[in-house]
Amino acid sequence: DGGITQSPKYLFRKEGQNVTLSCEQNLNHDAMYWYRQDPGQGLRLIYYSQIVNDFQKGDIAEGYSVSREKKESFPLTVTSAQKNPTAFYLCASSQTPASGNTIYFGEGSWLTVV
């Protein structure tokens, strides 16, 4: 099936640790995104990538890093510099970066700091 696969679905992190969330899409989309959602809140853009080997910071990039070495993959690393990382993380993609393209979301990853 075509879609976006995020893993793991649930992740526990100890304070001071870096963790990496995986995101793979087989939709052949050029653009990929990472959003953070806190309970009962909206979506905040962390990073986005319009094309392979290129990415830009979103509204809340501090404490996060990404890479886009392959078109289908856009992993997100939550670093120890992110002071409040407990949240629901959503990876998404769209066909192109152009205006008007539908954004497709993965099922999300729940990250909890213990």
Q: Which is nearer to other proteins, 16 or 40 (CB)?
A: 40
Report the site for other proteins in 46-105 (rule: CB under 8 A).
Answer: 48, 50, 90, 97-100, 102-105
Report the site for other proteins in 4-43 (rule: CB under 8 A).
Answer: 31, 35, 40-43
Q: Which is nearer to other proteins, 50 or 80 (CB)?
A: 50
**Which of 5, 24, 27, 45 touches other proteins (CB under 8 A)?**
45
Q: Give the C-alpha separation, 9 to 114, whole Å.
A: 16
Contacts of 100 (CB under 8 A, 6+ apart): none
Which run of H or E residues covers position 37?
strand 31-37
Give the gyration radius of the chain's Cα atoms: 13
**Which of 73, 108, 112, 113 touches other proteins (CB under 8 A)?**
108
Contact indicator for 112, 87 with CB cutoff of 8 Å: no
* Omega prior to 39 cis, within 30 of 0: no
The site for other proteins (CB under 8 A) is made up of: 31, 35, 40-43, 45, 48, 50, 90, 97-100, 102-108
